[in-house]
Structure 1
Amino acid sequence: MTESERHKLMLGLLRDQPFASVRDLQAYVNASPATIRRDIAKLHASGAVRKVFGGIAAAESVSGLDRLAARPFTENQMLEVAAKNAIADEAAKLVKDGDAIIIHGGSTCYLFALLLANRNVRIYTNSMPLAATLWQNGTCHLTFAGGDLYREPGIVFSPKAGAPEFYASKFFLGAQAITPNGMQESHPLIVKETELLLQRADEVIVLADSRKFGARARYPIMPLSRIGTLITDEGLSEANHKMLTDAGIRVIIARPGPENS
Structure 2
Amino acid sequence: MLAKKRYSIILEMLDRDGTVHTAELVEALGVSSETVRKDLEELDRQGKLRRIHGGAVPLQQPEAPAPMVGYVALSTRNSLHMEEKQRIARRAAAMVEEGQVVALDYGSTSQVLAQALAARFQRLTVVTNSIQNALILADKPGFTVILTGGILSRDERTLVNDFPTGILDYVHVDILFLTVTGIDPVAGLTDQRLGEISMQNQMRNAASRVIVVADSSKFGRASLVRICPISAVEAIVTDGGVDPEQAAAVEACGARLILV
SS in 1 for 2:25: strand
C-alpha distance in structure 2 between counterparts of 1:88 and 1:61, whole Å: 30
1:41 aligns to 2:41 (yes or no): yes
C-alpha distance in structure 1 between counterparts of 2:191 and 2:229, whole Å: 12
Q: Which residue of 2 aligns with 1:75?
A: 76
- In the TM superposition, what is the alpha-carbon distance from 1:8 to its structure 2 partner? 4.6
When residues 41 and 194 of structure 1 are mapped into structure 2, their CA distance, relative to the original with a 3 A threshold, is: same
The amino acid across from 2:40 in the alignment is I
- Tell me the matched-pair count: 240
Q: Which residue of 1 aligns with 2:13?
A: 13
| TM-score of the two chains, using structure 1 as the length reference | 0.80
C-alpha distance in structure 1 between counterparts of 2:196 and 2:178, whole Å: 11
SS in 1 for 2:202: helix
C-alpha distance in structure 2 between counterparts of 1:136 and 1:161, whole Å: 32
Residues 175, 211 of structure 2: 8 Å contact kept: yes
Residues 51, 238 of structure 1: 8 Å contact kept: no
Alignment of 1:81-92 (within 5 A): 81-92=82-93
C-alpha distance in structure 1 between counterparts of 2:37 and 2:161, whole Å: 52
Alignment of 1:156-171 (within 5 A): 156-160=159-163, 162-163=165-166, 164=168, 165-171=170-176
C-alpha distance in structure 1 between counterparts of 2:124 and 2:5, whole Å: 53
Q: Which residue of 1 aligns with 2:60?
A: none
C-alpha distance in structure 2 between counterparts of 1:131 and 1:22, whole Å: 34
1:179 aligns to 2:177 (yes or no): no
The amino acid across from 1:10 in the alignment is I
SS in 1 for 2:84: helix
SS in 2 for 1:41: helix
SS in 1 for 2:68: helix
The amino acid across from 1:21 in the alignment is V
Alignment of 1:188-227 (within 5 A): 188-227=194-233
- In the TM superposition, what is the alpha-carbon distance from 1:140 to its structure 2 partner? 1.3
Q: Which residue of 2 aligns with 1:66?
A: 68
Q: Over aligned residue pairs, what C-alpha RMSD do you find? A: 2.9
- In the TM superposition, what is the alpha-carbon distance from 1:61 to its structure 2 partner? 3.1
Residue identity (%): 23
- In the TM superposition, what is the alpha-carbon distance from 1:139 to its structure 2 partner? 3.8
When residues 221 and 252 of structure 1 are mapped into structure 2, their CA distance, relative to the original with a 3 A threshold, is: same
Q: Which residue of 1 aligns with 2:253?
A: 247
CA deviation profile, 1:111-132 (whole Å, cap 9, x unmatched): 1111222521111000111112
